[in-house]
Chains A and B, each alone.
Chain A
Amino acid sequence: MTDQTALFEYLLRLGDNTLVLGHRVSEWCGHAPVLEEDIALANTALDLIGQTQMWLGLAGEVENAGRSADDLAMHRDVWDFRNLLLVEQPNGDFGQTLMRQCLFDAFHVELLTDLTNASDDRIAAIAAKALKEVTYHLDRSSETVIGLGDGTDESHRRMQAALDLLWPYVGEMFTPDAVDDAMRAAGIAPDLNDLRARFDTRIDAILTEATLAKPESAYAQSGGKTGFRHSEHLGHMLTQMQWLQRAYPGATW
């Protein structure tokens, strides 16, 4: 694998994470339990889609094959996506959506913090921009997880169920492969063991305050960021997200 190929793959991972989660979160628009949460979710989705434009825009530049951020988002099929399995999981109930958000945000904040020191200035600049927004996302998702976890019997039960359901998707974020290793050698990507330790510190504090029990099993699903095997949910999501470009390729307005 050349450095350029690894860089392209790495940028797809960053951009596909924000694209897929941004689309998932936007599915709540008009459906959230209260108006304020509806607006908060839509704003979070908007930030993530904005970050996607920067990451996939840079990916297209690095690939140098004439593909724009839109082309990469709308004209690839499921096997070409490089997002984590966690972010493609369905929304479930409101608690499950916020648990997924909190787990991703805690990882995202730490990752972006490290990427602001990347040896590639373009990556450092996007990371610094995104970090401000993502710090705000984590404030909100962690507060909500704490509020619902340490809430009523019903909300506690649902948050524990969401944590148990999503925990097997946490490990993938911290399991390095050849792309991660190449990017780390290039002074771009961080050490994922170190990232995991900081993630655990954050998540342990949140879960303790939320009176939720962290699952003991360390079993980790994999196959999202390598593209080896996505869960069945991503393909269904893409049929919605890419519908217009599939029916009318290249349509603009």
Chain B
Amino acid sequence: MTADLSTIWSWLDEVPDPEIPVISVVDLGIVRDVAWQGDTLEVAVTPTYSGCPATSVIAMDIETALHDQGITNVRIKTQIAPPWTTDWLSDKGRAKLTEYGIAPPSPAGGPDACPRCGGTHLTRISQFGSTPCKAHWRCDDCLEPFDYFKCI
């Protein structure tokens, strides 16, 4: 079976990130290319952070999702250049992050607003957080802590 590429992209957009399940691997910008090589589907995936343990889970999830759609021959190709950047996050992904309580990346180097109350008086608690892609911040308006998706 050789499904057309736009259908395959829509299937991949249903594969959730294992750590932040509200966004898909396509929203995250880590699926770089999808192409048929004969009867094998080659999916180029780029890691977010080089040591991120979710990377191998993501590759497995993509393979499983495509197998479930009837594609038997899938090859996951790791592509590290150009390096992943948070500029590749989709607008849909950014909106979903905010809704989930994670402030999306901002080139200013810190969050624009608290994802809970929208407050703009913010303090950085730690440059790192619960996963390699996040930092820990606090809103001084509602006093709630929140995750910030680091901008790289």
Q: Which residues from chain A sit less than 8 Å from chain B, CB to CB?
A: 36-37, 39-40, 43-44, 46-51, 53-54, 121, 124-126, 128-130, 132-133, 136, 139-140
Q: Which residue of B lies closest to A131 (CB)?
A: B83
Please count the residue pairs between chain A and chain B whose beta carbons lie under 8 angstroms apart in the complex.
67
Q: Is the CB of A40 within 8 A of B51?
A: no
Given the contacts A54-B80, A128-B83, A132-B83, A47 and B49 also touching, CB distance less than 8 Å:
yes
B125: CB under 8 A from chain A?
A: yes
**A139 CA to B129 CA in the complex, in Å?**
15
B 33-72 to A, binary, CB cutoff 8 A, 1 in contact else 0: 0000000000000010111110000000000000000000
Q: Which residues of B contact A40 (CB under 8 A)?
A: 126-128
Q: Which residue of B lies closest to A137 (CB)?
A: B127
Q: Which residues of A contact B81 (CB under 8 A)?
A: 121, 124-125, 128-129
Given the contacts A51-B51, A136-B150, A36 and B132 also touching, CB distance less than 8 Å:
no
B79: shortest Cβ distance to chain A, in Å?
A: 9
Q: Is the CB of B128 within 8 A of A43?
A: yes
**A130 CA to B50 CA in the complex, in Å?**
7
Q: Which residue of B lies closest to A36 (CB)?
A: B126
Q: Is the CB of B152 within 8 A of A136?
A: yes
Q: Is the CB of B51 within 8 A of A49?
A: yes
Q: A43-B128, A47-B51 are in contact. List 10 more A-B contacts (CB 8 A).
A: A37-B126, A39-B126, A43-B132, A46-B51, A50-B52, A51-B51, A129-B50, A132-B85, A133-B152, A136-B152
Given the contacts A47-B50, A51-B51, A54-B50, A132 and B152 also touching, CB distance less than 8 Å:
yes
19 contacts between A and B (CB under 8 A): A36-B125, A36-B128, A39-B129, A43-B129, A43-B132, A46-B49, A46-B53, A46-B132, A47-B132, A50-B49, A50-B50, A50-B51, A51-B50, A54-B50, A121-B81, A125-B81, A125-B83, A136-B150, A136-B152
